[in-house]
């Protein structure tokens, strides 16, 4: 299980370099990205796979779906900001997205 303590802002830029599609949000307390699929079924398949991953890792997204778009916001409420758990979720979701796409 990744570390659940808040990442220092100085370390964040480096860590986010590999997550180029994600942007810092909410005064640096969360990251956000939008995924766009071909259709609703692809979007929902992605959400299903990430729902199972989220349960397994006890780390859950805030997300919003309309048809082929999934908007995701990640933060660690327990830590009051970004932790390695958020980055792990983002990395895994990007990998799922790129293979389904």
**Residues in the site for ligand HBI, rule: CB under 6 A?**
58-60, 76-78
Residue closer to ligand HBI (CB basis): 5 or 48: 5
Our CB check for ligand HBI shows the closer of 38 and 55 to be: 55
Q: At its nearest, how many Å lie between ligand HBI and the CB of residue 39?
A: 27
19/42 with CB nearer ligand HBI: 19
SS3 content of the chain, % helix, strand, coil (to 5): 45, 25, 30
Helices (H), the chain: 9-17, 40-57, 84-99
The nearest distance, CB 79 to ligand HBI, in angstroms, is: 7
Burial 41-62 (b: 16+ CB within 10 A, else e): ebbbebbeebeebbeeeebebe
Q: In whole angstroms, how close is the CB of 45 to ligand HBI at the nearest point?
A: 21
């Amino acid at each position: 299980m990744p570390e659940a303590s808040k990442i220092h802002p100085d370390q964040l830029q480096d860590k986010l370099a590999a997550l180029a599609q994600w942007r810092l949000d909410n005064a640096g307390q969360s990251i956000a990205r939008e995924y766009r699929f071909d259709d609703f079924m692809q979007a929902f398949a992605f959400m299903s796979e990430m729902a199972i991953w989220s349960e397994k890792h006890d780390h859950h997204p805030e997300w919003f779906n309309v048809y082929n778009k999934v908007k995701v916001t990640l933060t660690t409420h327990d830590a009051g900001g970004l932790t390695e758990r958020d980055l792990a979720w983002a990395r895994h979701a990007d990998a799922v997205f790129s293979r389904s796409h």
